[in-house]
């Protein structure tokens, strides 16, 4: 049994570490394992904050029962209902029949789908509180970090902020308290990049909401509690996210071009398109050759961009694989409404441009249809059409003369 660990008077960590985990939920490498953190507050009323993943109930239940008779639990706070924090809700409800499930409206809806049952619930809004006796818990709405359901829980008297995934890390070295290391720093960054990065505007909103709180400890639901250097970790989130606040505020609009050209013909079209763009206004243009560029660097550049152009030749009636490699990692939640277009040369059929346009639409870009295409070597007419398309694209992006 993993021993519960007190982190404050009457506040306990009830985690189930998994130091041997190497891949988390299909999507993340976890070279340092992880932990599923749950917290229990024993006051006049008893509250549990987050639960643990399906399959970890037996270990969790032993820890829980060593602290409290589960029938005495008054509140189960679900800060976020992804199954790594809520998977054991059915087992918990079975042994805590007197508990009220507390969460955002969407968390309650999602939790009902997890256990396929009805339960006593309390949907909370930003600023709502519950009284446990000697302390109150205040809920902070923090949607899209990284699901729509997310809330944080703040205990003013303990100066603890419970944050679920936010400010967490897949990292477990046996210590609940933070011991700084390069490995933890890298895990903290990787967790942000993989989980929070597509939601930068929401990260900034949440940071604004918590900036005036007195916080001695951040208690996330993965990895060590942050019991020192909190300002530094918060500042890192801000620094990594602030590009989202800057988008659209610069005097010059930025256009990112991601291009692959087999024989230089797609590149010629791109040159003409950009000539047209530049003729119509002042733009910062960042152009990537996808044969050598890191797709993650393209996505990073897009975060500060106002427009996106994708060039590809047609190969076997489709865009080439490096283009799909890029468009496979562009988050569908991050660039809604950003103007985008495709262009490319082809040998005999030329499906790449249309296929890319469809994918850009799926990713919620504002697609300017009918991007430049040319059979093999672009003619003067093809290049002039591409140039004109650049002028049109400039007008849509804005920032024209
Ligand atoms: Fe740790 Fe979004 O779940």
- Torsion over CA of 284, 289, 290 and 291, rounded to 10 degrees? -170
Q: In the prediction, which pLDDT does 399 show?
A: 67
Distance 114 CA to ligand 1 centre (A): 14
- 49 and 173 belong to one structural domain: yes
Tell me how many degrees the CA angle 43-47-53 measures, rounded to the nearest 5.
Answer: 145
CA 350 to chain centre: 35
Residue 2 has pLDDT above 80, yes or no: no
Distance 149 CA to ligand 1 centre (A): 11
CATH number at residue 188: 3.60.15.10
**The last residue of a domain, from among 197, 216, 245:** 245
Q: Is 363 among the domain residues?
A: yes
In a domain, 401, yes or no: no
The tally of domains found in the chain comes to 2
Please, what is the Cα angle at 96 between 125 and 127, to 5 degrees? 15
**Of 199, 84, 196, 79, whose CA–CA distance to 138 is shortest?**
79
Could you identify the atom of ligand 1 that is nearest to the CA of residue 222? 1
**Last residue in a domain, options 245, 262, 285:** 245
In the prediction, which pLDDT does 86 show? 95
Does residue 42's CB lie within 6 angstroms of at least one atom of ligand 1? Answer: no
Q: Quick check: CB of 267 below 6 Å from ligand 1?
A: no
Task: Encode pLDDT of 198-233 as tens digits.
Answer: 999 999 999 999 999 999 999 999 999 999 999 999
Closest C-alpha to 107, from 63, 77, 75, 73: 77
Which residue, 141, 144, 142, is CA-closest to 124?
141
Q: Is there a domain that residue 399 lies in?
A: no
**Together in a domain, 218 and 316:** no
Dig out the tokens for 138 from the structure: 């205040």
Question: What is the model's pLDDT at position 179?
Answer: 83
- The answer, yes or no, to whether any atom of ligand 1 lies below 6 A from the CB of 222, is yes
Mean pLDDT across the stretch 362-383?
97
State residue 284's pLDDT score.
Answer: 95
CA of 324 to the centre of ligand 1 (A): 27
Say if residue 235 is in the same domain as residue 280: no
Query: Is 236's pLDDT higher than 90?
Result: yes
Do 228 and 108 share a structural domain? Answer: yes
Mean local confidence (pLDDT), 357-366: 98
Residues 112 and 221 in one domain: yes
Q: How far is the CA of 222 from the centre of ligand 1 (A)?
A: 8
Q: Tell me how far apart the alpha carbons of residues 309 and 296 are, in angstroms, rounded to a whole number.
A: 16
Degrees, nearest 5: CA angle 139-78-6: 85
CA–centroid distance, residue 62 to ligand 1 (Å) = 23
Confidence of residue 25 (pLDDT cuts 50, 70, 90): confident
Does 249 have pLDDT greater than 90?
no
State whether 90 and 65 are in the same domain: yes
Pocket flag, ligand 1, residue 259 (CB < 6 Å): no
Which atom of ligand 1 approaches the CA of 146 most closely?
2
Q: Tell me what the pLDDT averaged over the chain comes to.
A: 94
**What is the side-by-side strand order in the sheet with 160-164?**
129-131, 136-141, 151-155, 160-164, 217-220
38 C-alpha to ligand 1 centroid (Å) = 12
Q: Which ligand 1 atom minimizes the distance to the CA of 36?
A: 1
pLDDT band at 286 (very low <50, low <70, confident <90, very high): very high
Ligand 1: centre distance to CA 118 (Å): 23
Identify whether 400 is part of a domain. no
Q: Given the CA of residue 168, which atom of ligand 1 is nearest to it?
A: 1
**Domain check: are 53 and 166 in the same one?**
yes
- Does the structure show a pLDDT above 70 at 401? no
99 and 240, same domain (yes or no):
yes
Structure confidence by residue, pLDDT tens digits, 140-187? 999 999 999 999 999 999 999 999 999 999 999 988 888 889 999 999
Closest residue CA from atom 2 of ligand 1: 82
In this prediction the pTM is 0.87
Q: For residue 278, how far is its CA from the centre of ligand 1 (angstroms)?
A: 44
Contact criterion met (CB below 8 Å) for 275 and 390:
yes
165 lines ligand 1 (CB under 6 A): yes
Q: Whose CA is nearest to atom 3 of ligand 1?
A: 82
Instruction: Looking at the structure, tell me whether residues 352 and 233 fall in a common domain.
Output: no
- Domain of residue 257 covers 252-394
Among the three residues 245, 260, 285, which one is the final residue of a domain in this structure? 245
Q: Is 369 exposed, middle or buried (0-12, 13-18, 19+ CB in 10 A)?
A: exposed
Looking only at the bridges linking them, the beta strands covering 373-375 and 339-346 are parallel
CATH number of the domain encompassing residue 313: 3.40.50.360
Ligand 1 centroid from CA 320, angstroms: 34
| Higher per-residue pLDDT: 156 or 21 | 156
The answer, yes or no, to whether residue 398 has pLDDT greater than 80, is yes
Measured from the CB, is residue 200 less than 6 Å from ligand 1?
A: no
Asked if residue 226 is part of any domain, the answer here is yes
Kindly tell me if the per-residue pLDDT of 44 is higher than 80: yes
Distance 399 CA to ligand 1 centre (A): 40
- Asked if residue 257 and residue 233 are part of one domain, the reply reads no
Judge if 225 and 339 occupy the same domain. Answer: no
**Same domain membership, residue 264 and residue 153:** no
Per residue in 299-353, pLDDT (tens digit) is 999 999 999 999 999 999 999 999 999 999 999 988 999 999 999 999 988 999 9
- Confidence grade of residue 400 (pLDDT, cut at 50, 70, 90): low
Closest atom, ligand 1, to C-alpha of 195: 2
170 lines ligand 1 (CB under 6 A): no
């Amino acid at each position: 049994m993993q021993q519960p660990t007190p982190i404050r008077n009457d506040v306990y960590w009830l985690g189930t570490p998994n130091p041997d985990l190497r891949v988390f939920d299909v999507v993340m490498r976890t070279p340092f394992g992880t932990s599923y953190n749950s917290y229990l507050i024993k006051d006049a009323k008893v509250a549990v904050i987050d639960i643990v993943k399906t399959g970890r109930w037996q270990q969790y239940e032993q820890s829980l029962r060593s602290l409290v008779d589960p029938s005495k639990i008054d509140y189960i706070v679900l800060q976020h209902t992804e199954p790594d924090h809520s998977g054991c809700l059915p087992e918990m409800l079975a042994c805590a029949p007197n508990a009220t499930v507390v969460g955002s409206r969407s968390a309650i809806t999602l939790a009902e789908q997890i256990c396929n049952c009805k339960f006593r619930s309390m949907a909370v809004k930003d600023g709502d509180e519950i009284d446990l006796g000697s302390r109150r818990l205040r809920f902070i709405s923090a949607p899209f970090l990284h699901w729509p359901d997310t809330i944080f829980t703040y205990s003013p008297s303990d100066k603890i902020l419970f944050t679920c995934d936010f400010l967490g890390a897949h990292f477990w070295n046996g210590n609940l308290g933070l011991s700084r290391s390069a490995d933890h720093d890298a895990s903290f960054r990787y967790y942000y990049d993989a989980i929070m990065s597509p939601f930068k505007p929401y990260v900034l909103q949440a940071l604004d909401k918590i900036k005036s709180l007195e916080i001695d400890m951040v208690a996330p639901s993965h990895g060590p509690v942050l019991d020192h250097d909190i300002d530094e970790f918060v500042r890192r989130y801000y620094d990594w996210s602030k590009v989202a606040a800057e988008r659209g505020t610069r005097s010059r609009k930025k256009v990112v071009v991601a291009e692959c050209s087999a024989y230089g013909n797609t590149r010629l079209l791109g040159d003409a398109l950009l000539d047209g763009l530049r003729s119509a206004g002042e733009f910062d243009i960042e152009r990537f050759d996808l044969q050598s560029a890191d797709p993650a660097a393209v996505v990073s550049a897009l975060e500060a961009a106002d427009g996106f152009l994708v060039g590809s030749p047609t190969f076997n009636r489709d865009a080439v694989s490096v283009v799909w490699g890029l468009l496979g990692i562009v988050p569908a939640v991050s660039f809604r409404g950003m103007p985008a277009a495709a262009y490319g040369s082809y040998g005999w059929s030329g499906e790449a441009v249309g296929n890319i346009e469809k994918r850009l639409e799926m990713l919620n870009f504002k697609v300017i249809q009918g991007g430049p295409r040319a059979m093999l070597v672009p003619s003067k007419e093809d290049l002039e059409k591409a140039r004109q398309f650049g002028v049109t694209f400039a007008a849509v992006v804005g920032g024209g003369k």
